[in-house]
Amino acid sequence: MSDMSRIKTFNLPDLGEGLTEGEILAWLVKVGDTIELNQPIVEVETAKAAVEIPAKWAGQVQAIHHPEGTTVEVGTPIIAIDTDPGAGPLDAPSTTATPTGDLPTPSAASLAAVEVAPAEGMIEPGLIGGAAPGGRTAVLVGYGPRTTAAKRRPRKGAVPAQAEAPVTPAPVAPQPVTPEPARTGNGGPVTGGLVLAKPPVRKLAKDLGVDLSTLTGSGPLGSITREDVQRAASGSVAAAEPVAVTSTATSAASFGADREQRIPVKGVRKLTAENMSRSAFTAPHVTEFLTVDVTRAMKALERLRGRREWRDVRVSPLLLVAKAVLLAVKRHPMVNSTWAGDEIVIKEYVNLGIAAATERGLIVPNVKDAGRLSLRELADALNGLVQTAKSGRTSPADMSGGTLTITNVGVFGVDTGTPILPPGESAILAFGAVREMPWVHKGKVKARQVTTLGLSFDHRIIDGELGSKFLRDIGDFLADPEAALLAWT
């Protein structure tokens, strides 16, 4: 078997629902490991879930192309596997594997074919492909560094370069060349190259009269921080105006980029933002509210928990809300539908979504064909769904195909809300907190268990009458579950 046929490159697969990229959370193998077929090799976070990807081949790991924390597109090579390691060592190092030990001496022809990268400093600042801090040039595997000019706004006061005139690098002289001093944000010369400092730090230095070029930065990559400027200013505070300096420093310390946190939008957060924006500005939302006395429903739950066959099952008010929604859908099928442009698709199955807040963001897994389940089966399905979501192991399949959703905002102590429809669904119910409140019951004011429901629906499909009747039926079930079951089933 040839070396080329032995080395198999594993590309990031499409994990479902047309996902385009994923972030490598953790590698479960390392270079040199022997792996088996279908052995999990990497954990990847997509826009919907964190999943472990199994190996397509057995063999030995030759190379890992992307480190943990890297976001790669679907179809990008992520790992190389030698499928026949017992056949002996590879004849020559390949582009997908980096063997350890001494490398063979390259031939003259191979050296001639290599394009030598320019020495550090030969690429002008602002060109993509220039040396990164530490002398590295960061490029993807299989791609050379780009030397196209980066688009950047010119600095204030800078002289624009002439695009017509090619720049010829000056020959390197044996003696050091002293360049013309550049200027910092406060007007001082830069004696050791470009001074690294954030705009708020430069402004503070200008206000305090500190020359940044005279400071040694203590920040990342030698950058100058606010503390460096303030320490330098404290040494010459007697020569400055104390009142003005103190006032300016206090004002500058109140705001600034160094007191801001920037979080990359990716994964679940990115998908949620896209879906909510698309839904909010596509489907005309209407939200109605209903406050319900659920005292009888809470008592029914207590009796259910006391039954022998239910003692090992976690029973929550959400179970009765889910059952109420499923029964109301049978009475009003149009609610369980999708707007498809020139037609409305009414679905005879209910994939009941349950919005869940996780460490990775909001996800909405769903119970498939929930209307066919018994109450006990529905309880088991809901409990399993919630536990899987909390552990971060919800699969993309569990989050696809939802037809109607419940969001239980009551667990956060919130009375209700105006939820946004998941794309492709026509209704979503917000279930608020159950509270003990004064309520008129049988002509007297008594303390009763009360909750508020909020139903958002797509007004293209569901008009006010249908939405009101659907919400009323859910409330009727929660007000008296036993009577509703007898009447509707």
Any idea which residues carry the catalytic annotation?
Answer: 459
DSSP string, 14-79: --STT--EEEEEEESS-TT-EE-TT-EEEEEE-SS-EEEEEPSS-EEEEEE-S-TT-EEETT-EEE
The backbone region for 101, taken as left when phi is positive above 0, alpha when psi lies in -120 to 50, beta otherwise, is left
Cβ-defined contacts of 372-379 (< 8 Å, 24+): 375/319, 375/323, 376/309, 376/310, 376/313, 378/319, 378/322, 378/323, 378/326, 379/313, 379/314, 379/315, 379/319
Closest by CA to 360, choosing from 224, 263, 222, is 263
Question: Is 364:314 a contact under the CB 8 Å cutoff?
Answer: no
Neighbours of 355 (CB within 10 A): 19
CA dihedral for 82, 83, 86, 91, sign (positive or negative): negative
Q: Which helix (H) or strand (E) holds 246?
A: helix 242-254
E strands of 131-256, at which residues? 182-183, 189-190
Neighbours of 319 (CB within 10 A): 19
CA dist 206 and 224 (Å) reads 13
Tokens 């992520």, residue located: 78
Tokens 């859910």, residue located: 474
CA dist 113 and 92 (Å) reads 17
Closest by CA to 472, choosing from 370, 369, 332, is 332
Closest by CA to 287, choosing from 412, 432, 416, is 416
Helix axes 226-235, 199-208, angle to 10 degrees: 10
**Helix %, strand %, coil % for the chain, to 5?**
30, 20, 45
